[in-house]
Each structure stands twice: as C-alpha cells, then as structure tokens.
Amino acid sequence: MRHQYHPLGFEGSRIAQGFWRLQEWGWSAQDTLAFVEQCVALGVTTFDHADIYGDYQCEGLFGEALKRKPELRDKMEIVTKCSILLPSEQRPEIKVHRYDYRREHILASVDRSLDNLQCEYIDTLLLHRPSPLMDADEVAQAFDHLFTLGKVKHFGVSNFTPQQFDLLQSRTDAPLIVNQVELSPLALQHFQDGTLDHMQQHAVTPMAWSPFAGGDLFSGQTERTLRVRNVLNELAEALEASVDQVVVAWLLRHPAGICPVMGSGNIERLQSAVEACQIRLSDDDWFRVLIASQGHDVP
C-alpha cells in the first residue's frame, strides 16, 4: 500500500540546537526548560537528539524538562536518530558496537525515544550512520509503519553517501528530507565529494554537525587550523562580527541551504549564531576561507 507522505521538505529553523552534551551540562529539568524557552524565543525551534546521546540519557533529560511545560511541544521540531548500538550499563543487552537496521529495532527505538522525550511523535527520524547490512526494503517497511501510526512525520539520514541515500530512497515512498553530515571550514569532504551537490539536486536539507570542528577552529594549533583562523579573524574584524559568526555565515552562504547544529549550552553562543543569519559573505570572502583550509588555490 502506498502512503500519502507530505510533499514539503524540512521545515525547521535556520539554526538548530543540539543536545548531545546535555548530560555533561549537569542541569536540572528546570534549567533545561529555561534554556529551551530561550531557544524558542530566539527563533531556534529545531532540537537535535539521538537515542545514544549522553550514554542513552539525553533524550530522557530533555523529556523531563518538556514534561514541565508540554505546550512547548507545538512550538518545536524534534529530530532524533537511531541505529547505532553502543555497549553501555544503560543497555546491558548490547554486547558489540555496531549498527542495527532491522525493522523491529527501528520500531522499538522510536518507541523508546517517544517515551524518553515524553511526546507523541517525532518530527524527523534520522538513521544515524549507514550500515553495510542495511536492507533498504526492511527500513522502508519500518518507515511506512511509523508514518501510518503517526509516530514519525518525516524521515532522513545522517552520514550517508549519495549512493547510500539513493538506495534507501529508491525503496521508500517517504521523501528523505535531511542528511546530517560533518561540515565546517576544516571538514571539506562533503563540499568536494558530491554530497552537497546531491542534496541540492534533490532538495534535501544538509544539517551540519560539528560546525566549529569540535572547537579546533578556536583552539587548534595545526598549521592548517592556524591558517584558517587567521583568515576568519581578518573577516571578523572587517565585518565587525565574531569568528563563530563568520563560520556560521560561511556555512549559510552555501546554496544547498545548510542548517548548522549548535552544540553549546551557552545561550549567548546560540544568539550569536542567530545573528549570523544576517551576515552574507561575498564570494571573495567565502573562497578565502576555502583556500586557507585547502592550503592551495582552487584549480
């Protein structure tokens, strides 16, 4: 049976807030709720999760906060991921770090996420990493079931190559609307290997994890990092902006419509990213960053 999927693609905020470090922040449920409310007030309504974040605990911490003000659910888009299995005291049945794309695992993972997040549906479910044992037909069956039950509205992937994306899309009527990949001035692979071209071709939203290269753009000491940071500092001074704003603006400048996922619990950092949406880098400035990262001119 063919299901009537909504034709629109990703409808989240231009900047997303990630919660993979939520457990590390040591917040109370009230602290988390206050942060979420501040995010929404800034117009950041897309919240990025995964079942494994924080040793399988971050979704639950977020859910405890949301339970205190459930009406906030209608003002946000929740993205979460499944398929990675990590051995953990929280999940003693998992013995080997691997991937699981069996239909029953996807369905059970979504049910756990819904329980943890204390909500009735997930806006966008992503497959976290591609598996060499992925049976695309079986995944498609899981997607159809979840959509029919109203548990998931949209589907996508994370860290998929264009070929892996096309394989899954060929088996499911559900439009895959997101591919979350690593993108930053120090992570150029997907700018060069056709991944972003593929997403632009198919109107798929790239969500950028680790947009600041895990902090290396601010503190890394390699020759390459120092070279990029020097250019970023020069642009920040010329634009009367901060270095992190220049990085966000550099990602936003790409025509594929990159959605950077912020990972900090500092609301000022998030506000800075939102303000960066008003900065449009010139082609000259964009290529200066690219060339500094490559270490050589474009061909």
Pick from 30, 79, 88: nearest CA to 56: 88
The Cα 296–Cα 166 span in angstroms is 33
pLDDT of residue 10: 87
- H-assigned helices in 42-127: 53-56, 58-68, 103-117
Pick from 141, 78, 166, 144: nearest CA to 114: 78
Q: Are 185 and 250 in contact (CB under 8 A)?
A: yes
| Structure tokens, 60 | 């639950």
Pick from 202, 148, 149: nearest CA to 175: 202
For 208, other C-beta atoms within 10 Å of its C-beta total 23
Q: 269: burial class by Cβ within 10 Å (0-12, 13-18, 19+)? A: middle
264-288 pLDDT, tens digit per residue, is 999 999 999 999 999 999 999 999 9
The length of the chain is 299
Active site residues: 53
28-77 pLDDT, tens digit per residue, is 999 999 999 999 999 999 999 999 999 999 999 999 999 999 999 999 99
Give the list of residues 6+ apart from residue 165 with CB closer than 8 angstroms, or none. 157, 176, 179, 198, 204
pLDDT of residue 4: 58
Provide φ and ψ at 99, rounded to 5°: -120, 155
In this prediction, the residues of the chain whose per-residue pLDDT falls under 50 are 1-2
pLDDT of residue 167: 98
pLDDT of residue 118: 97
pLDDT of residue 2: 47
- Outline where DSSP puts E strands in the chain: 16-18, 46-48, 77-82, 84-85, 98-99, 122-127, 152-158, 176-182, 205-209, 259-262
Pick from 261, 258, 262: nearest CA to 286: 258
